[in-house]
Structure 1
Amino acid sequence: MQQIQYPLSIFLIGATGDLAKKKILKALYKLYTDQLLPDIFSITGNARRQMSQQEFQQFVKDIVQPDDEQRWQAFCQHLDYVSGDASQLSTFEKIKAHHQQKAGQNHCGNHIWYLATLPRLYTSVVHNLRQTGLHQSDCGWTKIMLEKPFGTDLATSQQLNQELTQVFSEDQIYRIDHYLAKETVQNVLVFRFANGIFEHLWSNRYVDHFQLTASETLGVGGRGEFYDGTGTVRDFIQNHVLQMIATTLMEEPQSLQPDEIRDKRRDLLHALQPVSLEKMSQLSAWGQYGPGQVDGQDVPGYTQEEDVPDGSRTETAIAFKSFVDNERWQGVPLYVRAGKRLAETTTEISVVFKETSNQMFCDDNCPEQANVLTLRVQPNEGVIIRFQVKQPGVTLNIQEVPMEFRYHNQFQMDLIEAYVKLIYDAAHGDPTLFPRSDGIEASWQFVQPFLDHQADDQFRPELYPAGSWGPGSFGNLIGRDNRDWIKPL
């Protein structure tokens, strides 16, 4: 990674929020300590909280916890803060005047507006940027970075995109799905297309089915009000899960040009068959966690969480089956399970290959399952291949064993955090890892039947104990096809 060369001003709207504290501010400091930010740069935070510049600098210091005081002192000179309500035009007038005064002759550079605020404020912020002329620069480029969710359904997503593109061109808009920046997901392209041994197997001729598991042991915590209006489909399936599916199953791009790769992801999403309302009970299963145990500790059920109403029908886990309607994957099912308060925290994509037609071992000890290739997204990122071997001994007994590639074993370095990569790419003008508007719309088109099903008055998710692998219907979904969920390694 090379240092960004041109003067850069980053405006962080929502600078005191959870996302800024957990991810963005740490990523910015990492970019600085790795000498990737340009020599001339500024970071201006904005939130409603009243703070002076010095108080904001201390706020950031408490978050990043620098281990080099001299380096921190150099970094904090680039930090500034303007308080105000992001929905108000006067706030952006203050930001504009403040920046021009502080930047002086260095105001002539590139600008990134990072919206780490509530999505319902996006429209107001974009309007205020246009009204103050901050949506463009006289002598550099301007980009806007937005966090999911991009709408709450297909219609609101289309409306948001229309409002964004009235002010910004598509190549100025960087929609964030940080899962696309995780190392294992980025590695899918290389793994598939730089290794002929795998790409030749990547079709319905050799693949029996796919499984994707995206589980976490955590509950909703203090986000009960937000989550109850969102649910797993909106919070995880529509974005992270579908982007991982698209990256894993898409057709081969002709080049590494950003729009070529984004075209292929979009095409795969268009080919992914939505679960129709008529087949919803057959091809999907819905759950909500009840009381249970996680890591040996008693935890409450979802409706006992703070700010979650009694009788809530919001799903905290879902499993479904789908197909990809194209020549490569015709007839290959895709099974997905995702949710909160499940047995493990893991995200992985498994390619289950067809069993061999050779039956010579079946008289004595057939393998229990076919070969499986697993792309482990998190934690302990890597690639695992499970295959059959003979157990040592005088008799012929067959056992499944894993062959593993783990990033932390192979590379003696820490993996780049996703937000470091995303901010760096945005500053370099590389949109490869950012979903485009047509890809976002395709993903909403896929999940819209789920949302319609959930809106039915008869909809009720099935309770499952916290710390389990979900309700019994999850096992039934895949069991009807004489298959089982793969246990994470």
Structure 2
Amino acid sequence: MATTPAFDMVLFGGTGDLVMRKLLPALYQAHKAGLLHQDGRIVALGRKNLGRAGYLAQVEEKARPHMEQGFDPAAWTAFVERIDFHKLEASASDDYAGLAQRLGSDAQRVTVCYLATTPDLFTTICEHLAAVGLNRPTVRVVLEKPLGHDLESSCDINAAVARFFQEDQIYRIDHYLGKESVQNLMAIRFGNALFEPLWRREWVDNVQITIAEDIGVEGRGEFYDKTGALRDMVQNHLLQLLCIVAMEPPASLEANAIRDEKLKALKALKPFSAEDVAVKAVRGQYKAGAVSGKPVAGFHDEANIPADSHTETFVALRAEIANWRWAGVPFFLRTGKRMQERLAEIVINFRGVPHSLFENPAGQHTANRLVIRLQPEESIRLYFLAKEPGDAMRLQSTHLDLDFQSMYKVRRADAYERLLLDVIRGRLALFMRRDELVEAWRWVEPIIDSWEHSTVPPKSYTAGTWGPAASTGLLSRAGAAWNEEA
């Protein structure tokens, strides 16, 4: 793959957790692979006057441990030469002139401003960047989630940013869209005649999308208590994955062609009424338990969590898409913290044969299913029934396995690396468009409103399990079961 054009990567919130754990390691991997232009600079911004040496000491302490896999000391030394530090207070307009002077006035040079800050600073930062000319056509701004707290605040942020940047300069990032297996889902769907005839209501029984975390709020209690799992995970990650599964074939791989089809899928989602929330939505909250054999505290025992908090740490939903392809097919969405294991996957459960000649294997809800695993490892498995060896005509479940690690002996970029490279190269296909974000907020808002006005607390579940029992009931009423229970 060719290297990027010359660029400046400007990291607002340069001393923060996201930069240290994700962004700098991703840029290092791209550098080590020879994908970054030799004239590519990384400028980290922070409020304290650390200086370059002080900042690099923090990078060594906080970012370097996340680069152990395949670490190359020589590549690291060369990578660090790209990094500089600039003192800047995001809300101080006078600080931006110095940043503009440091970056220079080359109108052809790509400048990426990554806003790894809280959303309440997005408008201020964009306004100050524009005031010093850092909104020229080759400047791109990356916005991290959550983009707002509800539909109104999201629209306010997007409208404010749009005053200073054109839509094709704005990159709303969702790192799940950068995962190799998500890209492969599109290849499987649109590159193979085998699946397209089956990818519809006549042959699909249900679709399950799970993003489970085994961690808790990890010191972000105050933030998480104001956010919750519905805003933090469903409104963005889960709905974006649903769009990739459900959308119609785009006319091309051009960014707007793909995003037009994703938007249609979002608009086709049936809205939730108050009655629907009661029977098609489950919210939960973890209590003390054990994860990986180690005891962990309950949500109310975490720092900065009020004792009477009703904030959900688990969500399960039954969604439906009102169009010809998917009418009547339930899409089950699930996410939670302090669950049994870290897992992200998409499961397509196909309908059974019209008349079975064989005894169904015990506990097997569906013979054929496609499982796209996003984490911890990335893989795609197609499950089907085959005859057991021996005289008896007995079937057992088996699978075809597309294991990326063993099948492809080439280096695979992680999600953030791929997306950062796409920003530098000006590729928008894997980023959310403004109207997508509006529709996603519009769909989740009735659920948010219902839960905020409800006096019924979230259903309790023990840390280290798969969530409240009501989540299992949500599927059993449809004659289905979550994949780990199948």
Is the TM-score greater than 0.5?
A: yes
Structure 1 contact 352–372 (Cα < 8 Å) conserved: yes
Letter of the 2:101 partner, please give it. A
In structure 1, what is the equivalent of residue 9 of structure 2? 10
Using a 3 Å threshold, how does the CA distance of structure 1 residues 321 and 86 change in structure 2: closer, same or farther? same
2:298 equivalent to 1:301: yes
In structure 2, what is the equivalent of residue 58 of structure 1? 57
2:147 equivalent to 1:150: yes
Using a 3 Å threshold, how does the CA distance of structure 1 residues 457 and 198 change in structure 2: closer, same or farther? closer
In structure 1, what is the equivalent of residue 165 of structure 2? 168
Letter of the 2:15 partner, please give it. T
Corresponding residue SS for 2:251: coil
Using a 3 Å threshold, how does the CA distance of structure 1 residues 34 and 199 change in structure 2: closer, same or farther? same
C-alpha separation in 1, matches of 2:213 and 2:250: 32
Which stretch shows the higher mean deviation, 389-398 or 210-219? Answer: 389-398
TM-score by length of 1: 0.94
2:98 equivalent to 1:99: no
Using a 3 Å threshold, how does the CA distance of structure 1 residues 407 and 115 change in structure 2: closer, same or farther? same
2:444 equivalent to 1:440: no
Structure 2 contact 317–332 (Cα < 8 Å) conserved: yes
C-alpha separation in 2, matches of 1:107 and 1:27: 26
Deviations 1:46-92 (A, max 9, x none): 01122111222333344236754544443333322111311111221
Matches within 5 A, 1:401-416: 401-416=398-413
- Per the TM alignment, residue 107 of structure 1 is displaced from its structure 2 partner at its CA by 7.8
Using a 3 Å threshold, how does the CA distance of structure 1 residues 424 and 225 change in structure 2: closer, same or farther? same
C-alpha separation in 1, matches of 2:479 and 2:140: 50
Letter of the 2:145 partner, please give it. K
Corresponding residue SS for 1:58: helix
Unaligned regions of 5+ residues in structure 1, if any?
none
- Per the TM alignment, residue 364 of structure 1 is displaced from its structure 2 partner at its CA by 10
1:220 to 212, 217, 220: 217
1:386 to 372, 375, 383: 383
Deviations 1:303-329 (A, max 9, x none): 101111111100000111011111111
Corresponding residue SS for 2:195: helix
In structure 1, what is the equivalent of residue 111 of structure 2? 111
In structure 1, what is the equivalent of residue 461 of structure 2? 464
Structure 2 contact 171–423 (Cα < 8 Å) conserved: yes
Letter of the 2:206 partner, please give it. H
Deviations 1:91-134 (A, max 9, x none): 2122123334xxxx868622111111111111110111122222
Runs of 4+ in structure 1 over 4 Å off: 65-70, 105-108, 362-368
Letter of the 2:430 partner, please give it. L
Which stretch shows the higher mean deviation, 368-377 or 317-326? Answer: 368-377
Matches within 5 A, 1:256-405: 256-362=253-359, 368-405=365-402
In structure 2, what is the equivalent of residue 192 of structure 1? 189
Deviations 1:127-173 (A, max 9, x none): 11122222226xxx111011111111111111111101110000000
Deviations 1:353-410 (A, max 9, x none): 1111123225998965331111111122111122112222222322222221111121
C-alpha separation in 2, matches of 1:433 and 1:73: 31
Using a 3 Å threshold, how does the CA distance of structure 1 residues 308 and 363 change in structure 2: closer, same or farther? closer
Using a 3 Å threshold, how does the CA distance of structure 1 residues 328 and 15 change in structure 2: closer, same or farther? same
2:450 equivalent to 1:453: yes
Structure 2 contact 8–42 (Cα < 8 Å) conserved: yes
C-alpha separation in 1, matches of 2:230 and 2:263: 19
Which stretch shows the higher mean deviation, 105-114 or 436-445? Answer: 105-114
C-alpha separation in 2, matches of 1:265 and 1:394: 50
In structure 2, what is the equivalent of residue 77 of structure 1? 81
Unaligned regions of 5+ residues in structure 2, if any?
none
Structure 1 contact 221–306 (Cα < 8 Å) conserved: no
Structure 1 contact 365–398 (Cα < 8 Å) conserved: no
In structure 1, what is the equivalent of residue 179 of structure 2? 182
Letter of the 1:195 partner, please give it. N
Using a 3 Å threshold, how does the CA distance of structure 1 residues 364 and 12 change in structure 2: closer, same or farther? closer
In structure 1, what is the equivalent of residue 228 of structure 2? 231
C-alpha separation in 2, matches of 1:154 and 1:24: 28
Letter of the 2:18 partner, please give it. L
C-alpha separation in 2, matches of 1:368 and 1:94: 63
Letter of the 2:407 partner, please give it. Q
Structure 2 contact 211–344 (Cα < 8 Å) conserved: yes
Matches within 5 A, 1:231-250: 231-250=228-247
C-alpha separation in 2, matches of 1:30 and 1:389: 42
C-alpha separation in 1, matches of 2:72 and 2:404: 28
Using a 3 Å threshold, how does the CA distance of structure 1 residues 429 and 366 change in structure 2: closer, same or farther? closer
In structure 1, what is the equivalent of residue 47 of structure 2? 48
In structure 2, what is the equivalent of residue 135 of structure 1? 135
Using a 3 Å threshold, how does the CA distance of structure 1 residues 444 and 106 change in structure 2: closer, same or farther? closer
Using a 3 Å threshold, how does the CA distance of structure 1 residues 395 and 455 change in structure 2: closer, same or farther? same
Corresponding residue SS for 1:157: helix
| Identity of matched residues, % | 35
Using a 3 Å threshold, how does the CA distance of structure 1 residues 367 and 312 change in structure 2: closer, same or farther? closer
C-alpha separation in 1, matches of 2:361 and 2:75: 66
Which stretch shows the higher mean deviation, 34-43 or 468-477? Answer: 34-43
Using a 3 Å threshold, how does the CA distance of structure 1 residues 459 and 415 change in structure 2: closer, same or farther? farther
Structure 2 contact 351–366 (Cα < 8 Å) conserved: no
Deviations 1:15-69 (A, max 9, x none): 0000000011111222222222222222111011221112223333442367545
In structure 2, what is the equivalent of residue 21 of structure 1? 20
TM-score by length of 2: 0.95
Using a 3 Å threshold, how does the CA distance of structure 1 residues 90 and 365 change in structure 2: closer, same or farther? closer
Corresponding residue SS for 1:89: coil
C-alpha separation in 1, matches of 2:154 and 2:351: 39
Letter of the 2:414 partner, please give it. E
Aligned residues: 481
Deviations 1:259-309 (A, max 9, x none): 101111111111111322122111111100001111111111001011111
Structure 1 contact 366–398 (Cα < 8 Å) conserved: no
C-alpha separation in 1, matches of 2:152 and 2:99: 32
